[in-house]
Amino acid sequence: MKTIYFLILGLALCFPAFCDSFESEAQKLAQDLKLNLVKNLTQKIEKEGVVKAIPFCHENVKPIAKEAAGERVAKFEFGRTSHKLRNQMNRPPVWAEVYLKEFQGKLKSDITKNSLLIEHEGKRIYLEPLFAEAKCLLCHGEKVSTQVSEKIKSLYPQDQAIGFKQGEFRGFIWVKEK
């Protein structure tokens, strides 16, 4: 009798939010992607400076993300997007546009949602806001050095991902079911 009670209680607590493996797996993947990119980029900046870190980021962001994702690449699609793009390959999917507009120009302190869980064409999508931190402003801030700006323009001629303030919404990292 006791076992049945705990089984029923466990099922009741798990349904639906607590046992949503997609949401928890997507959140973990988003965290791993962010941490791995920030770790690698920070190491490069510390060793060789901001200007040399720009081409490193340009060439290695996708391999770094795939490494962080590991076997999860078989289950999920993932990426980053923004309302102010640096890399045109990160254009927002149609399902992200409304959320980018909703968050655009807001500060982290203005946003109460740590993540969004949406559905598009029968696939669940996890969106986690990205905010400009102090180190992000070296390449994405209002006052970027001339050397940094020139290097960015040489790699990303259509760059729009500048002018952010600390704590400002910068875009989303997203994870989608395959």
Establish if 1 belongs to a structural domain: no
pTM of the shown model:
0.85
134-157 confidence digits (pLDDT tens): 999 999 999 999 999 999 999 999
Q: Is 65 domain-assigned? A: yes
- Rounded to 10°, the helix 146-155/50-69 angle is 50
Does some domain include residue 140?
A: yes
Pair 126, 115: CB distance under 8 Å: yes
What confidence score (pLDDT) does residue 118 get?
A: 97
Tell me, yes or no, whether 39 lies in a domain: yes
Q: CA 176, 104, 27: angle at the middle one, nearest 5?
A: 30
Here the tokens at position 36 are 């791995």
Q: Judging by DSSP bridges, how do beta strands 169-177 and 123-131 pair with one another?
A: antiparallel
Please give the Cα distance from 153 to 158 (Å, whole number): 7
Please state, in angstroms and rounded to a whole number, the distance separating the CA atoms of residues 172 and 103. Answer: 10
Domain membership flag for residue 24: yes
**Domain-embedded: residue 164:** yes
In a domain, 2, yes or no: no
Total number of domains constituting the chain: 1
Q: Is the peptide bond before 129 cis (omega within 30 degrees of 0)?
A: no
Question: 45-74 pLDDT, tens per residue?
Answer: 999 999 999 999 999 999 999 999 999 999
> Over 60: is that where the pLDDT of 124 sits?
yes
Residue 20 — very low, low, confident or very high, per pLDDT cuts 50/70/90?
A: confident
- 166: which 2 tokens? 């600390």
Domain span including residue 73 = 20-177
User: Is residue 13 in a domain?
Assistant: no
